[in-house]
């Protein structure tokens, strides 16, 4: 028996498109969404927060890892007729630098799944208009990494970014997106994805207002995951004062989202703007894993992974096979994944996993 357990928001609206899901939380026919780690070591910026490219870290891997585009297309073909509805090209590195993206967009346009793209907003190669012409018709959501409301903050956190050019690129992308929709095509939602930290917490409400002025429909706030030692002091969760600054920013962001109107009407959808409880309050109970039995990852070497936790890529949750030697259907039904689904609540990594807590995944 299927139940409606969650939904995809429909671009340009607040409505949700229901997703069928089994009552035990497992989508039996395969993942509804797949992420391909296409080009994690390729980027034209060096953001402080990025484990691979940060000036505070060891720098990108040499030689860079790249997922074979032919393998991605073969997986899409194998998934035809399955519950697969959405495809994400790499959320690490800059996916617009991956040579297979145009072919992936064409394959999605032909086969039905929509793309979900996270980009740094520089639109390398084709420029914002060129990328919009390719991506907007086949993309459900385009997330722009956006970390400041001022040039000084944005350019400090994302080394190599030119803030005014990024703002102009957003306008250009939205113009093409709107033209595609006006001509009867689908309407790709555009979002800002923000890594909240000490350096930009004071600018978060203004980022929401900037989104509204530009016509960016959604602002998603993520907390900094201080995976590099030099980032620890920036995490707002590290002490009471930081937590208070976050809570104040949440209140001001909500007010900004309520006040600022999008050019076409409506308000910015604000996500993960959740206040932390007061000091001493019990930590919220972890929820279920948002990914197991629903989504799947293919790493740059073709390995299959059950979730985006870095430990999964390192094999610490188990070995789940490889899409170059098995089909996704076989791996989805395999013993390794079934064992993790049955036992993850007792796994030490899953017990502490931030994805199971408010703001961890959306």
* Interface contacts to ligand SF4, rule CB under 6 A: 289, 291-292, 306-307, 309, 312, 344, 349-350, 353, 355-356
Closest CB 150 distance from ligand SF4, rounded Å: 34
| Nearer Cβ to ligand SF4 (45/349) | 349
| Nearer Cβ to ligand SF4 (33/66) | 33
Closest CB 305 distance from ligand SF4, rounded Å: 9
Is 194 in a helix, a strand, or coil?
Answer: strand
| Nearer Cβ to ligand SF4 (112/318) | 318
**Residue 95: closest CA among 55, 147, 139:** 139
| Nearer Cβ to ligand SF4 (254/341) | 341
Burial zone of 61 (CB within 10 Å; 0-12 exposed, 13-18 middle, 19+ buried):
exposed
The answer for residues whose C-beta is within 8 angstroms of residue 290's C-beta and 6 or more apart is 355, 356, 360, 361
Closest CB 349 distance from ligand SF4, rounded Å: 5
| Nearer Cβ to ligand SF4 (4/316) | 316
Q: Which two tokens stand for residue 199?
A: 């350096």
**Can you tell me the distance from the alpha carbon of 27 to that of 24, in angstroms, rounded to the nearest whole number?**
9
Closest CB 297 distance from ligand SF4, rounded Å: 10
Closest CB 355 distance from ligand SF4, rounded Å: 4
Burial zone of 286 (CB within 10 Å; 0-12 exposed, 13-18 middle, 19+ buried):
middle
* Helices 69-78 and 101-111, packing angle to 10 deg: 10
Q: Are 56 and 231 in contact (CB under 8 A)?
A: yes
* DSSP characters over 4-45: EEEEEEPTTSS-EEEEEEETTS--TT--SEEEE---TT--S-
- Which stretches within the chain are classed as H helix? 69-78, 101-111, 127-135, 151-157, 163-182, 204-214, 240-259, 310-313, 328-332, 335-343, 348-351
| Nearer Cβ to ligand SF4 (273/340) | 340
Closest CB 220 distance from ligand SF4, rounded Å: 18
| Nearer Cβ to ligand SF4 (204/312) | 312
Closest CB 223 distance from ligand SF4, rounded Å: 15
**Can you tell me the distance from the alpha carbon of 101 to that of 39, in angstroms, rounded to the nearest whole number?**
10
Closest CB 226 distance from ligand SF4, rounded Å: 18
**Can you tell me the distance from the alpha carbon of 157 to that of 148, in angstroms, rounded to the nearest whole number?**
8
| Nearer Cβ to ligand SF4 (246/344) | 344
């Amino acid at each position: 028996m299927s139940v409606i357990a969650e939904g995809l928001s429909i671009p340009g609206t607040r409505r949700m498109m229901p997703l069928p899901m089994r009552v035990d939380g497992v989508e039996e026919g395969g993942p509804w969404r797949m992420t391909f780690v296409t080009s994690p070591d390729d980027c034209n910026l060096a953001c402080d927060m990025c484990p691979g490219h940060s000036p505070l870290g060891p720098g990108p891997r040499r030689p860079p890892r790249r997922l074979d585009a032919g393998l991605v297309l073969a997986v899409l073909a194998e998934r035809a007729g399955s519950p697969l509805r959405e495809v994400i090209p790499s959320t690490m590195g800059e996916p617009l630098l991956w040579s297979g993206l145009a072919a992936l967009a064409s394959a999605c346009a032909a086969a039905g799944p929509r793309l979900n793209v996270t980009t740094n907003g520089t639109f390398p190669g084709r420029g914002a208009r060129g990328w919009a012409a390719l991506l907007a018709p086949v993309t459900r959501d385009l997330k722009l990494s956006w970390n400041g409301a001022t040039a000084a903050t944005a350019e400090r956190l994302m080394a190599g970014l030119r803030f005014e050019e990024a703002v102009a690129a957003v306008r250009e992308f939205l113009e093409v997106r709107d033209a595609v929709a006006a001509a009867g095509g689908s309407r790709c939602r555009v979002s800002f994805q923000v890594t909240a930290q000490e350096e930009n917490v004071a600018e978060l409400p203004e980022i929401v207002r900037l989104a509204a002025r530009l016509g960016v429909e959604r602002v998603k706030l993520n907390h900094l995951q201080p995976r590099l030692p030099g980032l620890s002091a920036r995490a707002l969760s590290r002490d009471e004062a930081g937590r208070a600054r976050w809570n104040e920013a949440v209140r001001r962001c909500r007010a900004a989202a309520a006040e600022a109107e999008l050019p076409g009407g409506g308000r910015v959808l604000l996500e993960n703007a959740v206040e932390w409880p007061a000091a001493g309050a019990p930590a919220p109970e972890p929820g279920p894993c948002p990914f197991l039995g629903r989504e799947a990852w293919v790493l740059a070497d073709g390995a299959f992974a059950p979730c985006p936790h870095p430990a999964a890529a390192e094999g610490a949750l188990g070995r789940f096979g490889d899409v170059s030697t098995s089909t996704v259907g076989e791996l989805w039904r395999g013993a390794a994944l079934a064992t993790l689904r049955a036992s993850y609540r007792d796994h030490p990594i899953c017990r502490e996993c931030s994805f199971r807590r408010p703001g961890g995944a959306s």
